[in-house]
Structure 1
Amino acid sequence: MNIVTSPPADRLLYKPEEAAQVLSVGRSTVYELMAEGALEYVKLGRCRRIRRTALEGFVAALTSQSH
């Protein structure tokens, strides 16, 4: 039995897979957004992490585009 859990909302940094869950999009979409520069990320060694504030800013920019 696979139980899918959401990452905690109080986390400061998210893995791309966790960010995909938070945004309700696919993992590859998150990687595309990072490559395009639409979703800011930081590199920690070989790992990429996305700040919670970057996710919030991305969503805020989406809502302002829809008006």
Structure 2
Amino acid sequence: MSTTQGEAPTALAGRSFGDRDHITHATEVATAQLNARARPWIWGRPAPPTRRLRRRYVYVL
């Protein structure tokens, strides 16, 4: 799949991309969403306990 200079690859043909402001805004929003869910991990600290199965009767037949 070779393309000449200035020609979009087949996978990207017909796609429209946002300008610099849209890309910057999307990056900021995505970073904020990831950071809101982030949980810090510190060397030497034990891992959080694993969750027990709540409805055991569903898993044990």
**Same fold, judged at TM 0.5 (above):** no
Q: Which has the higher helix share?
A: 1
Q: Which has the higher strand share?
A: 1
Structure with larger Rg: 2
TM-score, scaled to structure 1:
0.28
TM-score, scaled to structure 2:
0.30
